[in-house]
Amino acid sequence: MTATPAAGPPRFAMRGIRKAFGATVALAGVDLSVSEGEICGLIGQNGAGKSTLMSVLSGALQPDAGEMWIGGQPFTPHSPLDARRAGVAMIYQELSLAPHLSVMENIMMGAEPMRFGLLDWARMREMAAEALAALGHTDIPPGAIVGTLSVAAQQIVEIARAIAVGSRVLVLDEPTSSLGRVDVQHLFDLLRHLKAQGHAIVYISHFIEEVKTVADRFIVLRDGRNAGGGDTASATHDDIVALMVGQSVSNLFPRSSRSRGDAILDVNALEPGSASFTLHRGEIFGIAGVLGSGRTHLLRTLFGLEPVRSGRVRVGVYSGVARPHQRWIQGMGLLSEDRKEEGLALTLDVADNVTMSKLSPFGPAGLLFPARQRGAAARWISELAIKCAGPAQKAGELSGGNQQKVAIARLLHHDVDILVLDEPTRGIDVGSKAQIYKLIDALVADAPGHKPRAVLMVSSYLPELLGLCDRIAVMQRGRLGDAVPANSLTEHELLVAVTGGTAA
Amino acid sequence: MTTRSLVERAGTFVGLVLVAIIFGLLVGPQFFAPTNLELMARQMAIVSIAAVGMTIVIVSGGIDLSVGSMIALCTVVIAQLLRMGVSPLFSALGAIATAALCGFVNGVLITQLRVVPFIVTLGTMLIIRGAAKGLGEERRIEAPQTWLNDLLRVTRGEALVPSGIWAVIALSILVALVLRYTRFGRHVFAIGSNERMARLCGVAITRTKIIVYALSAAFVGFAGLLQFSKLSVGDPTVAVGLELDVIAAVIIGGGSLSGGRGTVAGTLIGAAIMTVIQIGCSQKGLANWIQQIVTGCIIVAAVALDRIRSQSGGV
């Protein structure tokens, strides 16, 4: 059944793709190709360069160097529209459908059949039905409103659109993240069906088992390079993990002497998240898990941004549910994973961003003296070496790394005991990363004169968790596992734990 | 104040100077005579004070379409209270309290029903207008002459600026100070710039928003008082569409409908630009339709220029 790709030229190929953002090299020469009737799996850890590669392929980013071909013709998209016209169809995790329109309108969007200058609805229904039938999904009525369909059915509508507009390369990015087990099986059947029809498919996933199940061939990306690849039939789970991990970079992570103090956060059977753990002063507790595993939701629930369904949370001497305002007062602060949408107010200045959770020191009775506010911000600007024109500069004008430091400075300005850090180094340069690692380590280190703090952190970047944390628990499909001492784990074991158990 | 925000404000100010020069040239030097300037100040007082209130709402990321109706309701309330023999001072306070209550209701509906401010205040715009007509029995309400009729008039000898204008200036300074020098003011900016961040930081979003709408409406109540002073009757059909002038003043003055931006000084300059155009056109003898076309162009140009400016700022 597994048709080995023909010896002919690949349907799609990219060679030597390079892309740098300032000093950060995201892609350092990547090769990828996929032939007719072939499914190629693309695997890599977070930060390995998968999303940048996809942006290049979809035309959203232009590579600094390298070449791409479709059907033997050079392919140089300058925009996502260019790439779509050339026949590259991207199916993202977040589906791009118009939920208020019907299935047929969505499928034929941009290629609506016309008759005498008017929409030809009969023909549209017919063409949409054909596209769905080609996928073996006559169960989806062309007239149904997309928003009323299940996520799995919506995904099929999106794939049908890609097929209907004559796409030559189909790229699926983490397509199973919001699907149930049965739907995943249906999706795999559909992909095999498309493969048999001669479509060329790139399948991106965190989940090694999925790639092994559905793909013919796989390519592993690591640090923006091809780390290896081969036939999925002959490679074991362990082989692939070994390619993903590479050698570790332990010297990046400082480790001062730490001593575990009082229990300061006690979580008992918390739902959602099935979480039970205790966090102590002088300790960094890590939560590992892939995107969509529920780790961010767990942190937000702890912080009072999402409702608690059941279970108990005790923060210091306080117990019971609380809203963010109370959590701050109780000495807990959250660093959001989404710096631009939630972490910072980009149109406000650095001083406002650093001090917003606690403006009370800047004047009596609701008053606020801007000079004092800027003075407080200036202190953190110098302590964290934030590169900016001053406390009055708009946060949106800073680089990613410096924005992140501003967001962290808020927790320090508030002087919280528990720092809840969601992806503290996402999307920032290596230099800033090293500074943030040092800072996190210093927060929990033994120091004369003040009690060490406690850190609860989530990261997709496993070396970071292994390098910084004292204990690590794995979150998978909405459930938090037991905590394990970090020094008893290898990156390999952790990666297996994070990515495993999802074979469809 | 950063150099950046200085430049932003100066941009609007330069616009005002240009518009004034153009009409100065068209109309002649008498355009800048003290009496003419005072005429303009009186003309812009009502829109200005309502726009100062609206600045708070727009900075918080909201909008209030019901201000025109509130002004009409206020004139009716004052007239009815005066007829009932209530003292002028308490009649005025009653009108301001009525407006504040309308704003409070707006704020409660917006935060509790989670309906966007545009829709809620579109509804209350009609509701309040209807209430004004009901209370005024669908006609003008005559009211006894009191000192309330003199707020926009010079009464004592040499004083050039009427008391109502002094009050507008004082209240504007107050709002500018509140926005910059209170925790509430910074919370308003935080909510407007990024509501999710404000929530993360523990800002009491519901309470702050309700205060924003109630406070802003209190300023609209003051605008209603000035409107009554000008009319000397309660008129439930007055100030139809005025909310658009009010919003335009804030936008020309650098306020952003997506929130997080806006200044009282900018808003006042925005109101001044519109007034200069209106008075200039009418003194030049240009028809009303030309005024409207010019004002419309200014609104679009101001926002477009602002966009270009903020893009060149390197965000």
Considering only CB atoms, A352 lies closest to which of B182, B184, B186, namely B186
Structure letter (DSSP) for residue A341: I
The pLDDT of residue A118 is 87
Chain A residues within 8 A (CB-CB) of chain B? 305, 323-329, 334, 336, 341-349, 352-353, 356-357, 359-360, 362-363, 366-370, 392-394, 396-397, 410
- Which amino acid, one-letter code, is at B116? V
Structure tokens at A233: 């039939």
Instruction: Using alpha carbons, select from B264, B54, B259, B211 the residue that is nearest to residue A366.
Output: B211
Which of left, alpha, beta for A228 (phi over 0: left; psi -120 to 50: alpha)?
left
Structure letter (DSSP) for residue A145: B
Give the distance from residue A399's alpha carbon to the nearest chain B alpha carbon, in angstroms.
10
In angstroms, the CA B298 to CA A207 distance is: 56
What's the CATH number for A250-499? 3.40.50.300
Percent of chain B clearing pLDDT 70 (strictly above): 93
> Does B196 sit within 8 Å of A341, measured CB to CB?
yes
Asked if residue A313 lies in contact with residue A321, where contact means CB atoms within 8 angstroms, the answer is: yes
- Confidence class for position B155, pLDDT limits 50, 70, 90: low
- Confidence class for position B157, pLDDT limits 50, 70, 90: low
* pLDDT of residue B263 exceeding 90: yes
Give the distance from residue B168's alpha carbon to the nearest chain A alpha carbon, in angstroms.
23
* pLDDT of residue B222 exceeding 90: yes
Structure tokens at A152: 């799995």
- Which amino acid, one-letter code, is at B227? Q
User: Given 3-state DSSP classes, what are the helix, strand and coil percentages for chain B, each rounded to the nearest 5?
Assistant: 75, 0, 20
Considering only CB atoms, A359 lies closest to which of B183, B193, B194, namely B183
The pLDDT of residue B311 is 58
Nearest CA in chain B to A371: B181
The pLDDT of residue A116 is 85
Fold of B3-312: ABC transporter involved in vitamin B12 uptake, BtuC (1.10.3470)
- Confidence class for position B206, pLDDT limits 50, 70, 90: very high
Q: Where are the domains of chain A?
A: 12-244, 250-499
- Interface A-B, measured as beta-carbon pairs within 8 A, has a size of 94
Q: Assess: ipTM above 0.85.
A: no
CATH of A12-244, picked from 3.40.50.300, 3.30.450.20, 3.30.420.610, 3.40.50.2300, is 3.40.50.300
> Does A328 sit within 8 Å of B2, measured CB to CB?
no
Which residue did the predictor score with more confidence, B292 or B96?
B96
> Does B180 sit within 8 Å of A366, measured CB to CB?
no
Query: SS in 3 state form for A240-279?
Result: HHHHHHCCCCHHHCCCCCCCCCCEEEEEEEEECCCEEEEE
Considering only CB atoms, B193 lies closest to which of A324, A345, A359, namely A345
The pLDDT of residue A502 is 42
In angstroms, the CA A486 to CA A306 distance is: 29
Structure tokens at A212: 């092994």
Nearest CA in chain B to A392: B2
Asked if residue B42 lies in contact with residue B207, where contact means CB atoms within 8 angstroms, the answer is: no
Which residues are bridge partners to A265 per DSSP?
A: A279, A315
Phi, psi values for residue A280, rounded to 5° = -110, 160
- Taking the alpha carbons of A400, A406, A412, A417 in that order, is the dihedral positive or negative? negative
Q: How many CA atoms lie within 13 A of A92 on its CB side?
A: 10
Residues 6+ apart with CB under 8 A from B227: B46, B71, B72, B74, B75, B238, B239
The pLDDT of residue B266 is 92
Chain B residues in contact with A336 (beta carbon < 8 A): 196-197, 200
Nearest CA in chain B to A336: B200
Asked if residue A467 lies in contact with residue A256, where contact means CB atoms within 8 angstroms, the answer is: no
Chain A residues in contact with B204 (beta carbon < 8 A): 325
Average pLDDT over residues B255-264: 90
Give the distance from residue B3's alpha carbon to the nearest chain A alpha carbon, in angstroms.
10
Chain B residues in contact with A356 (beta carbon < 8 A): 186-187, 190, 197-198, 201, 203
Asked if residue B143 lies in contact with residue B79, where contact means CB atoms within 8 angstroms, the answer is: yes
Phi, psi values for residue B273, rounded to 5° = -60, -45
The pLDDT of residue A11 is 87
**Ranges of chain A with pLDDT below 70:** 1-9, 23, 247-251, 430, 501-504
* pLDDT of residue B177 exceeding 80: yes
Distance of CA B152 to the CA centre of its chain: 16
**A12-244 against A250-499: fold identical:** yes
Considering only CB atoms, B204 lies closest to which of A325, A343, A367, namely A325
Mutation site, A329, A342, A347, interface B, largest B CB count within 10 A: A347
Chain A residues in contact with B197 (beta carbon < 8 A): 336, 342-345, 353, 356
The pLDDT of residue B8 is 57
Query: SS in 3 state form for A190-234?
Result: HHHHHHHCCCEEEEEECCHHHHHHHCCEEEEEECCEEEEEEECCC
Asked if residue B16 lies in contact with residue B276, where contact means CB atoms within 8 angstroms, the answer is: yes
Write the DSSP string, A380-421.
HHHHTT--SS-TTSBGGGS-HHHHHHHHHHHHHHHT-SEEEE
pTM of the predicted model, to two decimals? Answer: 0.80
Phi, psi values for residue B304, rounded to 5° = -65, -45
> Does B260 sit within 8 Å of A348, measured CB to CB?
yes
* pLDDT of residue B315 exceeding 50: no
pLDDT tens digit string along B22-74?
988 988 888 888 888 888 888 899 999 999 999 999 999 999 999 999 999 99
Q: Where are the domains of chain B?
A: 3-312
